[in-house]
């Protein structure tokens, strides 16, 4: 069945990826950027064209819809997010399709120095003959999570067109601002109104994830003493120098993303901006366990206090706020949605693999708020950078999984 989805998935991904939809952590709006509404309104229109019910663009920027039940069964949610990551250029994405991948290096028309090599990325080497979608070399692709959007849209189009497939009510949601940790409005769980859900926001085929990082964000503000540099001796306190000392004092060999993997957590400096009078540093803190997360927050505060003690004329503040928590804490109490996804994967010829997500999804927050929401693969790879790519055929397997999943849920309820 999977090959029947290829053309539709390719068309949808190319169409969606070309629409700018980057989120912005500095914006207080919901969604954080107006450009996300361009894609959300397109999705709203397409859902109406497909014949979905209850199509709504909420005032908090999510598009919701219903696929009516054709049989008894649980109400299942399928979700994907429309925003692309702020960490890399996502303006003017030019998606391209490399048909029948030949197994060699992939080069980029807009960046001659960029190379996607199967020698460096072994997963690519497994995709001989697949249709590979990349960007042009100057932007990320946005398969995270427009591959998920394409998969969900294709799955529900197939279900609406084939009412003989038995399934319970399906609720779909397309959310903004997932990349900045604001994809789950307080109202979304009630508006979604499902027994459990799945985010289509994962990587390699077979990955069914029910464990994520727990996450906090830290903001450090350093206020120095500003004065004309010509008369600065004994008076100037340069906030840039203090910021550099804070970064230099934080562990850089054992506790950064580039030095950790598996179940190791990290402290990641994501932004440093300002000038000699005031600097701001933004950090993200990640760990699979709450005590490890708390220890990282304590360490950041201790570093700030230590540097502040060396220069009492400066004011250094550190604010830490929670972002999301490991969804395992709730899902391990009832593995029904995980077990159902695993059974569906095997039914479409894929052996499921559950590995901890070194990140988070909207499912992390939804699960914490009472809607159990594991994460399913889409095939996306090398996300948040110019080497991002996805196989159309991997997306087709994810689509088949969604269809089989809701069908199995109805069969088990019969």
pLDDT in tens, 270-289: 999 999 999 999 999 999 99
Pairing of strands 315-324, 63-67: unpaired
pLDDT band at 187 (very low <50, low <70, confident <90, very high): very high
pLDDT of residue 3: 67
Same domain, 72 and 153: yes
pLDDT of 245 higher than 80: yes
Same domain, 267 and 218: yes
CATH number, domain of 145, equals 3.40.630.10
In terms of DSSP H, where are the helices of 214-279?
Answer: 239-249
Least confident of 98-107, 137-146, 161-170, 227-236: 227-236
Catalytic residues, by residue number, are 83, 178
Q: Which one-letter DSSP state was computed for residue 374? A: -
pLDDT of residue 55: 98
Same domain, 358 and 334: yes
Same domain, 170 and 305: no
Same domain, 314 and 353: no
pLDDT of residue 2: 61
The fraction of the chain above a pLDDT of 90, given in percent, is 94
Full domain range(s) for residue 124: 2-212+326-413
Same domain, 159 and 250: no
Instruction: For residues 121-141, give the mean pLDDT.
Output: 98
pLDDT of 403 higher than 70: yes
Q: How far apart are CA 157 and CA 43, in angstroms?
A: 12
Give tens-digit pLDDT for 93-129: 999 999 999 999 999 999 999 999 999 999 999 999 9
Same domain, 137 and 250: no
Higher pLDDT, 227 or 131: 131
CATH number, domain of 266, equals 3.30.70.360
pLDDT of residue 323: 92
Same domain, 251 and 383: no
pLDDT of 414 higher than 80: no
Same domain, 8 and 28: yes
Higher pLDDT, 400 or 412: 400
Q: How far apart are CA 60 and CA 74, in angstroms?
A: 26
Among residues 294, 324, 354, the one where a domain terminates is 324
The fraction of the chain above a pLDDT of 70, given in percent, is 99
pLDDT of residue 86: 93
Please state whether the peptide bond connecting residue 31 to the residue before it is cis, i.e. omega within 30 degrees of 0.
Answer: yes
pLDDT of residue 124: 98
pLDDT of 313 higher than 90: yes
Same domain, 28 and 166: yes
Give tens-digit pLDDT for 202-240: 999 999 999 999 999 999 999 999 998 999 899 999 999
Among residues 324, 343, 368, the one where a domain terminates is 324
Same domain, 359 and 319: no
Number of domains in the chain: 2
Give tens-digit pLDDT for 8-54: 999 999 999 999 999 998 899 999 999 999 999 999 999 999 999 99
Query: Residues 6 or more apart from 197 whose CB is under 8 A from it?
Result: 76, 77, 78, 79, 171, 173, 337, 363, 366, 371, 372, 373
Same domain, 319 and 341: no
Among residues 324, 359, 379, the one where a domain terminates is 324
CA 106 to chain centre: 25
pLDDT of 366 higher than 80: yes
């Amino acid at each position: 069945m999977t090959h029947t989805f290829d053309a539709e998935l390719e068309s949808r991904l190319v169409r969606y990826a070309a629409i700018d939809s980057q989120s912005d952590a500095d914006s207080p709006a919901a969604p954080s950027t107006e450009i996300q509404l361009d894609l959300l309104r397109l999705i709203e229109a397409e859902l109406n064209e497909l014949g979905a019910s209850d199509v709504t663009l909420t005032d908090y920027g999510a598009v919701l819809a219903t696929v009516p039940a054709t049989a008894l069964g649980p109400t299942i949610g399928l979700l994907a997010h429309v925003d692309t990551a702020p960490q890399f250029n996502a303006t003017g994405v030019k998606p391209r399709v490399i048909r029948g991948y030949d197994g060699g290096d992939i080069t980029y028309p807009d960046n001659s120095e960029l190379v996607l090599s199967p020698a460096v990325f072994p997963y690519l080497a497994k995709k001989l003959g697949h249709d590979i979608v990349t960007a042009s070399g100057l932007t990320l692709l946005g398969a995270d999570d427009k591959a998920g959007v394409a998969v969900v849209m294709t799955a529900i189009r197939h279900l609406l067109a084939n009412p003989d497939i038995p399934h319970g009510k399906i609720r779909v949601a397309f959310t903004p601002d997932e990349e900045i940790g604001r994809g789950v409005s307080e109202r979304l769980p009630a508006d979604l109104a499902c027994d459990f859900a799945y985010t289509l926001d994962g990587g390699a085929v077979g990955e069914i994830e029910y464990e994520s990082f727990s996450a906090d964000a830290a903001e450090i503000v350093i206020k120095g003493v500003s004065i004309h540099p010509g008369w600065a001796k004994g008076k100037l306190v340069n906030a840039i120098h203090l910021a550099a000392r804070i970064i230099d004092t934080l562990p850089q060999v054992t506790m950064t993303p580039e030095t950790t993997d598996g179940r190791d957590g990290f402290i990641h400096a994501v932004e440093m901006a300002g000038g000699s009078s005031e600097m701001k540093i933004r950090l993200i803190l990640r760990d699979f366990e709450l005590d490890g997360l708390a220890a990282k927050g304590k360490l950041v505060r201790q570093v700030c206090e230590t540097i502040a003690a060396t220069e009492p004329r400066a004011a250094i503040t550190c604010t830490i706020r929670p972002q999301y928590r490991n969804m395992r804490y709730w899902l391990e109490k009832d593995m029904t949605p995980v077990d159902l996804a695993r059974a569906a994967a095997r039914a479409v010829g894929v052996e499921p693999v559950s590995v901890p997500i070194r990140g988070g999804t909207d499912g992390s927050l939804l699960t914490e708020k009472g809607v159990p929401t594991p994460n399913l693969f889409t095939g996306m790879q090398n996300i948040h950078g110019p080497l991002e790519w996805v196989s159309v055929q991997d997306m087709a397997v994810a689509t088949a999984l969604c269809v089989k999943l809701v069908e199995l849920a109805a069969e088990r309820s019969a």
